[in-house]
Structure 1
Amino acid sequence: MIRNLLAATALLFAGSAASLAEDWSGQITPYVWAAGFGGDITPYSGAHSLSFSKGFSEVLEDLDGAFFLSGYARRDRLVLMGDLSWSSSSKSGLVPPGLPAEGKLTQRSLTLLAGWRAVQNEAFTLDLLGGARAWNIRSSISLAGGMMQAAPGKDFVDPILAARANIALAPQWSAVLYADFGGFGVGSQSTSQIMATANYAVNENLWLSFGYRQLNVDYRSGGTEADVQMGGPLFGLTWRF
Structure 2
Amino acid sequence: MFAGSFQAAGDSWLLYTDVMWAKISTDADFGPFGGTADFEQTQIVATALVGYELPVNVANMQLYATGGLRYQHNKVELGIDPVFFPAIDRSGSQSWADPIVGLTMHYDVNSKWFVDVMADVGGFGVASDITLQGTATVGYNWTDTLASSLGYKALYTDYEDGGFQYDATQHGVFTRLAVKF
Distance 1:99 1:187, change over 3 A: farther
Counterparts of 1:109 and 1:75, CA distance in 2: 26
Higher relative contact order (CA 8 A, sep 6+): 1
Match of 1:149 in 2: 89
Is residue 107 from structure 1 mapped to residue 26 from structure 2 by the alignment? no
Which one of 71, 87, 93 corresponds to residue 134 of structure 1? 71
TM-score (normalizing by structure 2):
0.91
Counting strand residues as a fraction of each chain, which structure ranks higher? 2
Task: Tell me, yes or no, if structure 1 residue 85 matches structure 2 residue 25.
Answer: no
Provide the rounded CA distance (Å) in 1 between the counterparts of 2:64 and 2:34: 54
- One-letter amino acid of the structure 2 residue matched with residue 195 of structure 1: T
Distance 1:139 1:194 in 2: 26
- Alpha-carbon distance between aligned partners in 2 of 1:131 and 1:231, rounded to the nearest angstrom: 21
CA-atom RMSD in angstroms: 1.8
| Aligned residue in 2 for 1:177 | 117
Deviation at 1:94, TM superposition (A): 5.0
Contiguous gaps of at least 5 residues in structure 2: none
**Structure with the larger helix share:** 1
Write the distance in 2 (CA, Å) between the matches of 1:160 and 1:94. 43
Whole-Å separation in 1 of the counterparts to 2:135 and 2:34: 42
1:62 aligned residue: none
Larger radius of gyration: 1
Counterpart Cα distance in 1 of 2:112 and 2:143: 9
User: In the TM superposition, what is the alpha-carbon distance from 1:233 to its structure 2 partner?
Assistant: 0.8
Normalised to the residue count of structure 1, the TM-score between the two structures is 0.69
Match among 50, 73, 76 for residue 8 of structure 2: 73
Give the counterpart of 2:139 among 190, 193, 199.
199
2: CA distance between counterparts of 1:213 and 1:201? 21
Superposed CA offset, 1:197-224 (max 9, x none): 0010000000010011111111111111
CA deviations on 1:19-46 (whole Å, 9 max, x unpaired) are xxxxxxxxxxxxxxxxxxxxxxxxxxxx
